[in-house]
Structure 1
Amino acid sequence: MPFFPLRTALSPEERQLRQRLIFRDALALSSLFAIVVVLFFITLALFHSFSVHREELKQRWLARGEKALQAGQPQAAIQALRSALAYDTDDKRIQIELAQALAASGRTQEAVAYFNTLLESLPGNGPIHLELARLAAKEGQQAQALEHYQAALDGTWQGDGYVRRREVRLELAKYLISQKHLEQARTQLLIAAGNAPDDASIEMTIAGMLESAQDPVNALELYQKALQHKPPQLAALLGAGRSAYALGRFLLAKQYLERALNHPGFEKYPSDQQTVYRNMLADSDHILMLDPGEDLTVRARAERVLANRKTAQERLASCLSTKSTVPQPLEDLANQWQQLPKTIRLMQLERDPQLEQTLMQLVYQTETITAQQCGAPTGNDALLLKMAQNPEAVEQP
């Protein structure tokens, strides 16, 4: 049977000593733990202070860069933005603005490379594609510009993407107009108009661009829509007058131009522009006095037809006198006039609506052909030529 020695009981002095040792060790451990905790918070505070300081420096340099870029100082912007980027190399906003500064300074290749690198990490980013479109347009790379403009329209945008996409579409339309792609420009503008809010300034902006894209029909519609807002804006009245005039709707042009010239803001326009609109109104007035409109009496209409006949015949005679060899179109025109009676009286014309129509068609034809053969006409001939482009629209409301 194994033998285990009995443990001797500790004396009171030994127990007291043991308790002191345990207390001292516990106190030492607690002190070490407290020191570690204090050091941890000190380190955390220092790290936070350092991070805050880095962020402050980044924001300070970023603000300087943005201010310089807005002030048209791209070189200063590049230096400031690079300093900002040193404090946060992953900040995409700074990277994009640095690329913009490079582009503004004329360092196109660097900017393109920077933007393309950004696209690898931000595929489908609308602003980046827009910048690449602008750079491609600047370099005359039409295909690439159109590709990036479309990608910008389809891309992602922070904030109000609806508004930004409309702005991109209008910028694309402006670029297409500059490249003489008027049909494509009209398409983009009509899409923008269809998606635009009921805002007079936006409607007038798009209407003005439609005028540049040679689409007075839709331009007039948008100007009229803008005029539904009260009070009517002078720019909308003038735009509507111009568009109606371009369409040959001279009665409507007169109505809008009269309102525009009576607007209190018209006198603030430069004198040369005032002259243009006054002449446009005078032409519209004069054309309406030449037009044998259906609202006239039979006699009044016949008088105008005979007066226009005389003007056209004199224009043809003048044109023929300048030709040593008569071109075939002028010879054919002269033959058509010879087939008509040399003398036509008012009463005869009043009784023969078909003759009236034949005479006016020949008047329009004469003004058109003589303009082609003998150059631009003046006076009543010039006004009859404008009427000839769309006779049915002259008094269209």
Structure 2
Amino acid sequence: MASVSLRGVDKAFGDQHIIRNVSVDIPDGEFCVLVGPSGSGKSTLLRIIAGLEDVTGGSVHIGGRDVTRLQPKDRDIAMVFQSYALYPQLTVRENMGFSLKLAKRPKAEIVRIVNEIARSLALEPLLDRYPRQLSGGQRQRVAMGRAIVRQPSVFLFDEPLSNLDAALRHHVRGEIREMYERLRTTCVYVTHDQVEAMTLADRIVVLRDGKVEQVGTPVELYDRPVNRFVAQFIGAPAINFFAGVAKVCAGRTTIRCADGIEFALPGHQTVEDGQSVECGVRPEHICVGAPDHSRTDVVSMGARVKTGEFYGADTLLSCDTPVGMLATTGRDRTAYGARQGAQVLLQIPSANVHLFDRRTGLRVN
């Protein structure tokens, strides 16, 4: 196992700057996910770690060793690709043992290691099949097995689940996490799917336009996003936003919104008087129901249901309100069973409101 450190890494293709001064430390044994929208530079960064792309500036260290100028084969890494990259003319057994054969390991040892890994990934019945005879999920497990037999210091995953359907993604995602828990080898995993990132990662690196927006645990990113972009990117259903203006008077801070809606902020806040802000509220923090007049920390507003989506355990309502469209999700089928056009009352605890400066997009509370 080994740590991975990126120090001031830059990458440009001609005039196009893809990675901009990225510095990230991934401790030994951590499962780190690089996440971001298409074009954010996450796959390029992974290829730089693997040695498949040269850096324009900065350095890459694996296990404390500077590997910036080393070839991929000399970095002690194994990579699992989106396209599986299996040899079609070789059986599953031969694909998994190929790197050991190149390393001239004894035949008996290759058989033992391949059989061991195949057993752990439930691939034993498939060992004599060819890739064309396998399903997408089975091919991805073979690709994982081929990486595991090498016993590398670092596993690199480049969007390995993007070719699978939703049910299979969920299943293979569990297998990847189970593999990690068993081996505890450092993993760097690239995805554009924030649900994958949240369920797999010990820590997440959020990228946008080649720059790091935030690094943290899934809980830290969800509960304390540093800016509007991270708040919007992390979480499903997506966070709601509506505009407001801060009013600070006699040590008390309130946020004034459209149609006379106003709510007080709890505790000490760093908002300035007259500051324009965007209020972010996650759908699960907006409740549908009768007003609770005993609570002063809740802002209530009338709304009209535009659409309702039933997901089984939860129902998602999209509502037209004085501050704009707001989505709310909950499990109370009586409260959330409102039909299109119905009038409902929404309640938002002020403690669950995230504030972002409207000009910079940065978190202010």
TM-score class normalised by the smaller sequence: 0.3 to 0.5
TM-score by length of structure 1 reads 0.31
| Larger Rg over CA atoms | 1
Larger helix fraction of residues:
1
